[in-house]
Structure formats: C-alpha cells, structure tokens
Amino acid sequence: MKYENYISLKAKNKASFSKKTKQVGDVDIEFIALSESRFDSQTGEAIDELISEVRLEALELEKEYTDSKIAEMQNISDGYKQAISDIKAL
C-alpha cells in the first residue's frame, strides 16, 4: 500500500486494519491485517479484497525514516531561505 493514500482510502471505507488469527502448526497466531478494496480497471467491478499482514514495528520505522527526511529537507529549505534573505539584503 502507498500510505500517502491511506487517509483518503480509509475515509471511503476502501482500506482498514483488523486483528486476525492464523494457524501455524498447532498454534494460533494473532496478526494485524490490512484489507484493501480492489476493482477491475477495465470494468470497474469489485474484485477480491487484498489482505496483507502488517507489522507495527515496520510502519513505525518507515514513519521515523520519513520524518527524518522531512527534517532534513526542512533544514535545506531553511538554508536557501536564509541565503535568499542575505542576498536581498545586499
């Protein structure tokens, strides 16, 4: 899933998380499932949902990485802003 689309997909009830259980050997294991509605691009008809297992830890790491990139880009932007201000002050 492209998480930049998650908020709008959730608002349209086209993506959701739920707790599910799967059996591995003789043991039931609980996991987080992401369910996504899908449609045939040719006909527009609904097709089977895509269900994928999601790890909270993986999402947290991706968010941390994204936040660090945002901070890095903000620092670059701030540098340009200051340079522009300094040049205009000449």
- For the stretch 31-79, pLDDT in tens is 999 999 998 888 889 899 999 999 999 999 999 999 999 999 999 999 9
Residue 61 shares a structural domain with residue 88: yes
Q: Tell me the pLDDT band of 9, cut-offs 50, 70 and 90.
A: very high
Separation CA 10–CA 33 (nearest Å): 14
C-beta of residue 33 within 8 angstroms of C-beta of residue 20: yes
pLDDT for residue 1 = 86
Which value, in Å, is the radius of gyration of the alpha carbons in the chain? 21
The pLDDT of residue 30 is above 90? yes
Quick one: 61 and 49 in the same domain?
no
Please check whether residue 15 is in contact with residue 1, taking contact to mean a CB–CB distance below 8 angstroms.
yes
Same-domain check for residues 50 and 60 = no
The count of structural domains within the chain is 2
Could you tell me if 22 and 32 are in contact, meaning their C-beta atoms sit under 8 angstroms apart? no
Q: Which residues on adjacent β-strands are paired with residue 51?
A: 35
β-pair partners for 32: 19, 54
